[in-house]
Structure 1
Amino acid sequence: MKKISVFTFMLAVTAVFGQKVSDYKYISIPQTFKDFEKESYGLDDSLAKALKSKGYVVVQEGKDQWPSEIEKNSCSFAVGNILNKSSFLRNKVELEFKDCKGNVVFSSKGSSNIKEYKEGYQDALKQSLISLPASNPMANLQVIKESPKENVVTKSEESSSAPVTENTSGKYTNGKVNLQKIQVDTNQFILADGGSSVPFAIFKTSSKKDVFRVKLSDGSYTIGYYENGNIVIDMPQSNGEFTKEVFSAK
C-alpha cells in the first residue's frame, strides 16, 4: 500500500473520455456575441446570470477579471456562444458551448413567437436554457507516471491550493494489466495504469452500496462492484454482451 497525495489542478484529462458541459466549472463568454454585434439585446448579461444560477463560474471578456487559478490557454473551461437562427416569423437562437479544441459539448435551440426583438430573443434564450444541466464537474484527473521511489500524484479541480487528506491506494491486477486504485474522495476513485497517463477507469458511487457507475478509457459506460475484496468490472463486448473482469488485490 502506498500513500497518494491529492492536489488541485485544472488540466482536464477527462477530455480524453469526451466531456459534457456539466463537467465544467468555468464558462467563458464574449462581451458581445458575433451574431449580435450591432445589438446585444442584453443576451450576454442574461446568459451570464443563467449560468451562475446553475452553478457555473462565468468569465465575461472585457467585464470580468480572468480567475487566477486557471490559465487562459488551458482546457479547463468551456466557451459559450449564442447564434442567431431567426426566421421570417420567429426569433430563434442556438445556445452553444465548445471545449478548447472547438468540439461542441452542448447545443440547444430556442424560439419565440414574440415579434419584438429584445423580448423575443430573451424569450428564445430562456427556452434554450431549459435543457442546460447544472454544473457538476467531475474530478479532472491526471496521473503522473510513477518512478520507483516516487509517489503517484493526482490533482483534483475541486479545491484551490492546499493538499487534501491523503488517501491510501492499493494495487490490483487481472493477470494481464496492473492497476493502482486512487481514492479521489468518498464518492469517486480511479483505477490507473502505472505505465500510462490515462486513467483505465473512473468509478462513481451509485444508489447501491459497493456498486459503482464506471466510465472506461474508451468513453463507454458500465458498472463495477466489490466482490470478496476484489474489484469487478462488467466489460462491454462488441456483440452487446458483458464479460466479468476481476481485478484482485496484489
Structure 2
Amino acid sequence: MKKISFLLIALFSIVSFAQKKQIILISSKYDFQNEKNSYNINNMLKAILTSNNYQVYFDDEILPMEIAQNRCNALTGILVDNSNLLLTKIKLQIKDCQNNLLFESAEVKSREKDIQTGFMECVKLLSPEIKKYKASLIQKKEVVIETPPEIIETPKVSEFKTYLNCSFKEVFNGFHVTEVRDSNGLVLLSMQKTKNPVIFIASRENATGVFTKTGNKGIFEYYIGDNYMIEEFSFN
C-alpha cells in the first residue's frame, strides 16, 4: 500500500474560508462611544467585515441558534480608540471566546479635524488590515502529516486442499441451505447465504468458516485452533 499524505487544515483553513463564512460579533457601542453607532462607526465596521466575506452580527441583536448556544462558534471584533487632540487613531482586535487575542491590526490614523469624518476614514483604512489577517491564517495553518504505510498481515496457510468436479445443490429442510457435493454426491459443505451473493457462511462437522464462489471455483477458509486452513473447490 502506497504512503498517503493527509493535509490537515486547522480552524481557519482554505476550505473553511471557501465554503463557510467565519462569524464575527461586534459591539453596537464600544467603550469610547457615548451612544450606539455614534459617528456611524459600528455600521461601517460591519459593512467592511461583510465585504471581506465574514458573517457579522451585533452582540445585542438576536443571534443564530448555533451562536446563541455556543459563543465559541464565533469570534469577537473589538475597536480600540487611541485618539488624541490632533489625530484620530483606532485599531481592530479579533479575539476568540476565551479572550485570546488572535489578531491586532496596525493602528490606522486620520488628521481630519471633524471627528465623524476622521473615524469614518479610519474604519475604511481597516479593510486592507482585515485582508492581511485572512491571508496569514490561510498560509500558517497548514500542517502535513505523513502516515506510515498500513501493514496488513496475511495469515500463514497451515493446510491447503483441493476438491474437483463438485456441484452446488439448494435444499430446504426448514432452512434455506446450499450444499457443496463431490462427484459421488457426498456432502462436503453446508452453506447459508449472506447479503453478498458470492459469499456464504459454510460449515461441516469439524469446521465453520467463509466460502467465496467466483465463477466455477470456490474457496473455503476456516480455522482449526490457530491453524488457518484453505480448501479449493472446482465445479462442473
TM superposition score normalised by structure 1 = 0.45
Greater relative contact order (Cα < 8 A, sep 6+): 1
**More helix by percentage:** 2
TM superposition score normalised by structure 2 = 0.48
Larger Rg: 2
